[in-house]
A = this chain, B = another copy of it.
Amino acid sequence: MKIKFIIVLITSLFALTSVNQASCKIAKQGESHMSKTHNTQTTNLLDTYIQNSKSRYESMLAQFVNIPSVSMENTSTINTNDFSLAFLSGIEDIDENAKTLNPMLKMAKIASQALTNAGFKAKVYPTKLFPVVTGELIQDQSYPTVLIYNHLDVQPASASEWASEPFKMQIKDDKYLGRGTTDDKGPALAVLFAAKYVKEHKIPINIKVLWELEEEIGSPSFEAFLQENKANFKTDSIVVSDTIWVSRNSPAVAYGLRGLQGATIKLTTGVKDIHSGTTGGLARNPIGEICEVIFDCYEPKTGHVKIPHFYDDVKEPSETEIEHFVNSGFTIDGFKQANEVNSIRTNNTKEAVLRLWAKPTFEIHGIKGGYIGQGIKTIVPHSAEAKISMRLVPNQDPHKIFNDLKAFIHERCPNAIVESEGTLMPYLGDLNSPYMKAAASAIENTFKKEAVFTREGGSIGAAVSMNNILNAPIVFLGLSLPEHGYHAINENFDWQQASGGIKLFVNYFELLSADK
């Protein structure tokens, strides 16, 4: 079964057993005078480096964006033999201009080349589905090591709905338009340019890069890949850079992450659509029955979930957390503007941030059944399908939630087929960890704005896997803004966030380095 869904965000769940010398220094330097002096010196060199990198950054981003590495659409097109052969003969032997080349493989090849060109030792790992591209910049085994995670697969994009061709990047006034510009190719390249600076200026830190190609389909191969190769990814700490700020003025460092349980609910009551005049009243209507099932599951107007025990394990946020949320810079108007919606379920800010960051959801992503052309066609449909997911919060268990959903639906509609479409664990980190503080310092040094502490509404399966397997603390340093349109039409990124991002990562690497 193919699992297909979409994920975001950011937390810092720390395994503090491995906090090393570097992290101890970080904890102290946040307030030190020395760090400011150092930053000022670095800033001049770094600013020049960033300005000089602009055109190269843009051409690389265009090269990345122009590859339609849509994981969701390519799962059925891969030929395992092609991948195996490619890996047997070596990724460098692949002709990336071959028209028949799977875009996922092309993306891996181009990404690997980019890492090599930036001074990394690149490697592409095959998995059961799409490869993982990695890079190592080991300057000295004694230096602290940081591992940075991004993903290079993207959401689908329907060209007809976009203002410009989604897989042909456009540059307009320092704004980059195209699928994947902000999620997550633009941030990945900001990390790459920061790492290049690290190497050129011999900043005493080792950097490992891990670029996934399955993030948008829930990372089905990632955990097995990491488990098998964990020895190669030993690290002192981890950065995940696939996150969204509250607003351009409110750079966020998040410490929690919602999980996800996806599902499809299918009901088939016949083999073909039949005539509603000659059969209507007697024939079952699967769309109607699916609508009833959905309404049994939740109250659409409020979002309240009606499945028994759904909320039983929800860990309520503390007063301190709620205070952070409310003071995060989140505004109802900002949310509406960024997402282009006129009305939402509540206009109370506190209730709004709790709904986004600390409460679970039941969401219908799509529904299909019967005739969907213009006007009406008076048939009784023979099947219907709803695509749903539930975002889950600590300490909800997705497996238990799915079983409850399935049993609940079968009680009401025994013919319905309920299938799991991906499972991601929720995540809760330590709001007060030294890495969180270092991330906040780097943000403040770079953007001259106070970092805000939030949880995030999205899910990143790979983050949970890395935390579990590598046993290293994670910092979530994102560069995207709400108006960049994660997963939406006309996705974009901008040089302001890209250049700020390069500076942010250099700052953060310096704070982690052996120099500190």
Q: Mark A144-163, 1 if CB is under 8 A from B, else 0.
A: 00000000000110000100
Chain B residues within 8 Å of A281, by CB: 303, 345, 355-356, 359-361, 391, 457
Q: Which residue of B lies closest to A260 (CB)?
A: B378
Chain B residues within 8 Å of A373, by CB: 72, 156, 366
A97 contacts partner chain B, Cβ-Cβ < 8 Å: no
Please state if B363 and A384 are interface contacts (CB–CB under 8 Å).
no
A370 contacts partner chain B, Cβ-Cβ < 8 Å: yes
A107 contacts partner chain B, Cβ-Cβ < 8 Å: no
> A370-B365, A488-B275 are known contacts. Are A300 and B289 too (CB-CB below 8 A)?
yes
- Give the CA-CA distance A452 to B178 in the complex, in Å: 65
Chain B residues within 8 Å of A125, by CB: none
Chain B residues within 8 Å of A422, by CB: 375-376
A180 contacts partner chain B, Cβ-Cβ < 8 Å: no
Q: Which residue of B lies closest to A280 (CB)?
A: B361
Chain B residues within 8 Å of A361, by CB: 276, 280-281
Please state if B270 and A340 are interface contacts (CB–CB under 8 Å).
yes
> A269-B341, A284-B344 are known contacts. Are A279 and B374 too (CB-CB below 8 A)?
no
> A376-B389, A387-B371, A487-B273 are known contacts. Are A363 and B156 too (CB-CB below 8 A)?
no
A 349-407 contacts with B by CB, 8 A: 352, 355-356, 359-361, 363-382, 384-389, 391
* A41-49, A199-207, A227-235, A290-298 - the one binding chain B: A290-298
> A287-B367, A377-B387 are known contacts. Are A271 and B7 too (CB-CB below 8 A)?
no
Chain B residues within 8 Å of A459, by CB: 277
Q: Which residue of B lies closest to A332 (CB)?
A: B282
- Give the CA-CA distance A365 to B371 in the complex, in Å: 6
A108 contacts partner chain B, Cβ-Cβ < 8 Å: no
- Give the CA-CA distance A482 to B282 in the complex, in Å: 15
Chain B residues within 8 Å of A277, by CB: 6-9, 258, 260, 391, 456-459
Please state if A275 and B487 are interface contacts (CB–CB under 8 Å).
yes
Please state if B345 and A379 are interface contacts (CB–CB under 8 Å).
no
Please state if B375 and A364 are interface contacts (CB–CB under 8 Å).
no
Please state if B458 and A278 are interface contacts (CB–CB under 8 Å).
yes
Please state if B295 and A376 are interface contacts (CB–CB under 8 Å).
no
Q: Which residue of B lies closest to A459 (CB)?
A: B277
- Give the CA-CA distance A65 to B439 in the complex, in Å: 71
Q: How many residues on the A side are at the interface (Cβ–Cβ under 8 A)?
A: 106
A 178-202 contacts with B by CB, 8 A: none
Distance from A316 Cβ to chain B, minimum over Cβ atoms (Å): 15
Of B4, B339, B366, B379, which one neighbours A487 at CB under 8 angstroms?
B379
Please state if A276 and B72 are interface contacts (CB–CB under 8 Å).
no
Distance from A346 Cβ to chain B, minimum over Cβ atoms (Å): 7
Distance from A142 Cβ to chain B, minimum over Cβ atoms (Å): 39
Please state if A244 and B278 are interface contacts (CB–CB under 8 Å).
yes
A301 contacts partner chain B, Cβ-Cβ < 8 Å: yes
Q: Which residue of B lies closest to A488 (CB)?
A: B272
A285 contacts partner chain B, Cβ-Cβ < 8 Å: yes
Please state if B370 and A275 are interface contacts (CB–CB under 8 Å).
no
Q: Which residue of B lies closest to A360 (CB)?
A: B281
- Give the CA-CA distance A290 to B380 in the complex, in Å: 18
Q: Mark A204-225, 1 if CB is under 8 A from B, else 0.
A: 0000000000000100000000
> A271-B340, A457-B279 are known contacts. Are A377 and B366 too (CB-CB below 8 A)?
yes
Chain B residues within 8 Å of A294, by CB: 287-288, 291
Distance from A294 Cβ to chain B, minimum over Cβ atoms (Å): 4
Please state if A287 and B366 are interface contacts (CB–CB under 8 Å).
yes
Distance from A393 Cβ to chain B, minimum over Cβ atoms (Å): 10
A100 contacts partner chain B, Cβ-Cβ < 8 Å: no
Additional pairs, 8, CB under 8 Å, beyond known A5-B378, A366-B370:
A4-B375, A264-B376, A272-B488, A273-B487, A274-B487, A279-B356, A280-B361, A367-B367
Interface residues, chain A, CB within 8 Å of chain B?
Answer: 2-9, 72, 76, 155-156, 161, 217, 244, 258, 260, 262-264, 269-285, 287-292, 294-295, 298-301, 303, 335, 339-346, 352, 355-356, 359-361, 363-382, 384-389, 391, 415, 421-422, 456-459, 482, 485-490
